[in-house]
Amino acid sequence: MTRRSLEIGMAVGAATFLVAVPWLIPALTDNFWVSVITEILIWSLFASSVNLLFGYVGLLSFGQALYFGFGMYGVAIGIDHVGLSFWPAFGLGIASALAMALVSGVFAVRLSWHYFAIITVVFSLIFYFLAVSMKPLTGGDDGINFSLPPVFRLGGSVFSLTDPTFQYFFVLAVVSLCFFLMYRVINSPLGKGFLAIRDNDLRASLIGLNVYVLRLIAFVMAGFLAGVSGALFAFFGRYASASYMFYQVSGEAVVWTIVGGAGTMFGPLVGTTLFIVIREIVSSHWEHHSLIVGLLAILAVIFAPKGIVGLWNGWMTRLGERDAAAPAKPRLTLQAEP
């Protein structure tokens, strides 16, 4: 089996599985897993925002929960306080996350490495405490509960996220679209500029790349991904809460990304799936399930610095080299075939 056919096979398999989930899961196990998979999709989009910054631009952010929280509150405040319908609320969530990312990015991307990491944490802490204390607007610790407006009406029928199958496909479609957009960006001239800055920002500035502006663009794009995932999570949970803006949420996404594979398209999806599945299975039996998370993170950093997907890509490259080397053999030697 060649590398390419194996990869195409896996992509088709994964896509088929994701489309079949609403029928496959109830046939195999409990319906509850459909909602777990929905949640995995949303959180993997959130982890992608860490991945875009860390894996492709070299900026380690511990503050992405801030934009997730803005996406959440945009939706919740839009629906509950302002009385918006579905799409305007979705738009408000994304727009508030983008605006927040732009404002904090202007300051944050001037810095790099630990200074950058620290300022992202500081920003998210400031707004976490603001959200907790501004009770009339945010509901503080209790958060905001709201009832879902319909997504759209077609003829006589109303489509709403209260239907778990429709909700699943809605989330799948939005997350897939975001992954597709990110894929396009990574493989564009802009994406190569990101990679150049990640590898060597001094050199990047000497060839004429505006490192500051490119980092800011990446930061706002990451804010977009986090904002969309936060908005989706608000719809999914029908509520918004300041607790999701806490830096622990940001930190989890960093761990998922690193274990799954930073700088790979699907690393965050793999990492997020792994940890949420472990959490769902283990947490009902053992309260210290986060020990497993820590252990896996340590193992990944030591033995698979490019994460699970990086490990896999390494095997695939070796497989590809073997494929390439095999037909060349008779030309290199005069020996008869064994």
Using CB under 8 A as the binding rule, the residues of this chain from 215 to 234 that contact other proteins are 217
Residue 214 lies near other proteins (rule: CB under 8 A) = yes
The residue type at 110: R
Dihedral angle, C-alpha 62, 65, 70, 73, nearest 10 °? -160
Using CB under 8 A as the binding rule, the residues of this chain from 176 to 195 that contact other proteins are 181, 184-185, 187-193, 195
- Nearer to other proteins by C-beta: 171 or 214? 214
For other proteins, the binding residue among 99, 111, 209, 319 (CB under 8 A) is: 209
- Nearer to other proteins by C-beta: 30 or 199? 199
Residue 71 lies near other proteins (rule: CB under 8 A) = no
Residue 211 lies near other proteins (rule: CB under 8 A) = yes
Number of chain residues interacting with other proteins (CB under 8 A):
27
Residue 198 lies near other proteins (rule: CB under 8 A) = yes
Task: Name the 3-class secondary structure at 335.
Answer: coil
For other proteins, the binding residue among 200, 248, 283, 317 (CB under 8 A) is: 200
| Tokens 């095997």 found at | 315
C-alpha to C-alpha distance for 330 and 338, rounded to whole angstroms: 11
The residue type at 67: Y
- Nearer to other proteins by C-beta: 95 or 220? 220
- Nearer to other proteins by C-beta: 196 or 255? 196
Task: Name the 3-class secondary structure at 276.
Answer: helix
Ramachandran region, residue 113 (left: φ > 0; alpha: ψ -120 to 50; beta: rest): left
Task: Name the 3-class secondary structure at 144.
Answer: strand
CB of residue 263 to other proteins, shortest distance in Å: 8
The alpha carbons of the chain give a radius of gyration, in whole angstroms, of 22
- Nearer to other proteins by C-beta: 60 or 92? 60
Query: Pairing state of beta strands 152-154 and 144-145?
Result: unpaired
Are 201 and 112 in contact by the 8 Å Cβ rule? The answer is yes
For other proteins, the binding residue among 21, 174, 196, 309 (CB under 8 A) is: 196
Residues near other proteins (CB under 8 A) are: 181, 184-185, 187-193, 195-196, 198-200, 202-211, 214, 217
